[in-house]
Chain A
């Protein structure tokens, strides 16, 4: 029993078939629970009710980064071991990552308006998210413009590797370029900077919810891609026959 067994599309389809209902159910419960609980938290002393935005902003931002890392790992697996499911999972994850980045940017802008007095500020964190969004768009555009699926997987894999390095580089380059308004890590372990438990637990739940939601969406989209690929293969076989 090894994880590589799931590289077999049929095995992958069978296993995820059974796991999906549970995943979708728990994702729905955690998402709704976390967001509703977050919505019902009391107002913050300084930020008023805008603090409630954190329960969308932080999980979305977290997933935006994690999905890129997941795509990087999946691309590496594809490049090294040539498992098709891995390449398809990377392809399936990209639009989700782009939407998560967009949510993080949009909620950040809406939140920044009353708090910082501006919709947009060229602050390092905001800027690096914008750059991450550009990378997602380029990645998705490349996938959709190469016709041969294996070449597309190879090219996007290479782009993902190079893009990861440059996304990271940009992250630190913008720090050099401008010091920002954005607060540091909200969940830091240092005492005194930590948010109060009233906000922390709903935030944890909301993060878990976004994580499960992302996983469920990735699995569904990967299944879609596998089916499309199978259909294309069958059609190609028919054409030849």
Chain B
């Protein structure tokens, strides 16, 4: 583990917040896409 010195909390918080936001965005994007694809496939199969 590298030494972050006195600002360890700051740096880790910034990385944590950003990565959490990006992860949330990616998750939402992928989930919405999968949902739309499933719904469309289902409809095309039945309809």
Contact = CB atoms under 8 A, between A and B. Distances in A.
A234 B44 contact: yes
A198 interface: no
A231 B17 contact: no
B contact patch SS = helix
A103 B39 CA distance: 32
B7 A220 contact: no
Given A221-B33, A224-B33, A227-B40, A48 B17 contact: no
B15 A39 contact: yes
B29 A220 contact: yes
Contact of B10 (A43, A60, A110, A223): A110
A102 interface: yes
Interface in B12-47: 13-15, 17-18, 21-22, 24-26, 28-30, 32-33, 36-37, 39-40, 43-44, 47
B29 A99 contact: no
B21 A103 contact: yes
Which of A40, A102, A224 has the most chain B CB atoms closer than 10 A to its own CB? A224
A contact patch SS = helix
Contacts of A223: 33
A230 to B, nearest CB: 6
Contact of A48 (B7, B28, B39, B44): B7
Contacts of A11: none
Interface residues of B, number: 30
Given A50-B7, A99-B21, A231-B43, A110 B33 contact: no
Interface in A115-166: none
A48 B32 contact: no
B38 to A, nearest CB: 10
A52 B10 CA distance: 10
B33 A49 contact: no
B39 A95 contact: no
A220 B30 contact: yes
A43 to B, nearest CB: 6
B43 A234 contact: yes
25 contacts: A35-B15, A49-B4, A49-B11, A50-B7, A52-B11, A56-B14, A56-B15, A56-B18, A96-B25, A99-B24, A103-B18, A103-B22, A106-B14, A106-B21, A107-B18, A220-B29, A220-B30, A220-B33, A224-B29, A224-B33, A224-B36, A227-B39, A227-B40, A230-B40, A231-B43
